[in-house]
C-alpha cells in the first residue's frame, strides 16, 4: 500500500484529455511538500515529467501539466498520443516517515 | 550530458548481500547534487532506497535503513549500494539517479537504465 494513492489505470482515445490523481495526506502533500511526476515507458527507466508541482523540464511537451491542491495533486495530459502509453508515478516527501515516497503508479492506455 | 550506469550481480542468494555500483559520466560527483538509489519490484510502485550527498552524508528509507549502506568513491566517480540479508521481496529493478534538491524539494532528473536483481537460491 503506497503512501500516495494513484488510480491503477486510466485510458483515453487519441486527442482526448486525461488526468491522473495523486492523493496524499497531512504528512506529505497536505503539509506543503512538492509533488513531482515521472513517466516510465515500457522497458525504460523513469523520466522526470513534472517537477515542483507544475514545472516541465526542457523537452517535455506542454501537453503535460501538473497541479497541486490541498492533499492531492494531478497530472493532466491533453491531445493524447499513442506514445503517451506508459506508467506514471507521483513522488513527494512524507514527514511522518522521513522518506521520499512514490505513488503506486498509474498505467495509461491509449485506446 | 550526465549519464549513469548500474552494474552488479543479477542473481543474489537469500540472506546474502546485494551489491551494486553506479558509474557516473559527464559530471563529477564531488561537484554537487545528491545521488540516490530507487527500485521497482514486480507488480509494485517505485521505492526510494536512499540518497547520498557529495560530502558523504547519507539518507535512508527508514523501512530499509537497518540493511542499507550507500557509499561514494569520488576517485572513480561512482557510488554504491549494499543491501544485506536479502529476501525474495528485494527482487526488483534497481535504478541509480542524480537527485536535484532545492528548498527541501528533491526529484530525480537523471536515471540509469536500471539493473534487474533477482533473489533466489
Residue A31 phi, psi dihedral angles, 5° rounding = -85, 0
Least confident stretch, A24-38, B79-93, B97-111: B97-111
B30: left (phi over 0), alpha (psi -120 to 50) or beta: alpha
When CB atoms are compared, the residue of B95, B107, B112 closest to A36 is B107
Cα–Cα distances in Å, from B71 out to A23, A46, A53, B62, B84?
33, 23, 30, 17, 14
Residue A103 reports pLDDT greater than 90: yes
Q: Which of B1, B52, B63, B107 to mutate to test the interface with A (most CBs of A within 10 A)?
A: B107
To 5 degrees, how large is the angle CA A41–CA B68–CA A45? 10
Q: Report d(CA A14, CA A7) in Å as an integer.
A: 20
Q: What is the band of B102 on the pLDDT scale with cuts at 50, 70, 90?
A: confident
Q: Which of B6, B45, B108 to mutate to test the interface with A (most CBs of A within 10 A)?
A: B45
Q: Are B80 and B71 in contact (CB under 8 A)?
A: yes
Query: Given an 8 Å threshold on Cβ–Cβ distance, is B106 in contact with A93?
Result: yes
pLDDT in tens, A5-14: 999 999 999 9
pLDDT in tens, B30-83: 998 999 999 999 989 999 999 998 778 899 999 999 999 999 999 999 999 999
Contacts of A57 in chain B (CB under 8 A): 109
Query: Given an 8 Å threshold on Cβ–Cβ distance, is B61 in contact with A33?
Result: no
pLDDT in tens, A38-82: 999 988 999 999 999 999 999 999 999 999 999 999 999 999 999
Q: What is the band of B105 on the pLDDT scale with cuts at 50, 70, 90?
A: confident
A78, with CB counted inside 10 A (0-12, 13-18, 19+), is middle
| Average pLDDT of chain A to the nearest whole number | 96
Amino acid at each position: 500500500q503506497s503512501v500516495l494513492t494513484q488510480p491503477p489505470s486510466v485510458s483515453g482515445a487519441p486527442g482526448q484529455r486525461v488526468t491522473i490523481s495523486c492523493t496524499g495526506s497531512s504528512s506529505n502533500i497536505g503539509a506543503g511538500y512538492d509533488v513531482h511526476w515521472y513517466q516510465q515507458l515500457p522497458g525504460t527507466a523513469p523520466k522526470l515529467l513534472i517537477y515542483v508541482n507544475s514545472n516541465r523540464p526542457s523537452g517535455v511537451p506542454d501537453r503535460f501539466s501538473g497541479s497541486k491542491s490541498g492533499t492531492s495533486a494531478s497530472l493532466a495530459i491533453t491531445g493524447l498520443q499513442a506514445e503517451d502509453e506508459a506508467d506514471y508515478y507521483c513522488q513527494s516527501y512524507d514527514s511522518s516517515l522521513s522518506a521520499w515516497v512514490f505513488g503506486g503508479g498509474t498505467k495509461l492506455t491509449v485506446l | 550530458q550526465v549519464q549513469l550506469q548500474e552494474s552488479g550481480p543479477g542473481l543474489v542468494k537469500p540472506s546474502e548481500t546485494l551489491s551494486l555500483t553506479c558509474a557516473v559520466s559527464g559530471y563529477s560527483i564531488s561537484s554537487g547534487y545528491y545521488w540516490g538509489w530507487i527500485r521497482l519490484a514486480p507488480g509494485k510502485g517505485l521505492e526510494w532506497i536512499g540518497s547520498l550527498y557529495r560530502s558523504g552524508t547519507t539518507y535512508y528509507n527508514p523501512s530499509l535503513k537497518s540493511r542499507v549502506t550507500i557509499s561514494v568513491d569520488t576517485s572513480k566517480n561512482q557510488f554504491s549500494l549494499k543491501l544485506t540479508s536479502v529476501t525474495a521481496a528485494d527482487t526488483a529493478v534497481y535504478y541509480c539517479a542524480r537527485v536535484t534538491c532545492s528548498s527541501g524539494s528533491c526529484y530525480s532528473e537523471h536515471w540509469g537504465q536500471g539493473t534487474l536483481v533477482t533473489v533466489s537460491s
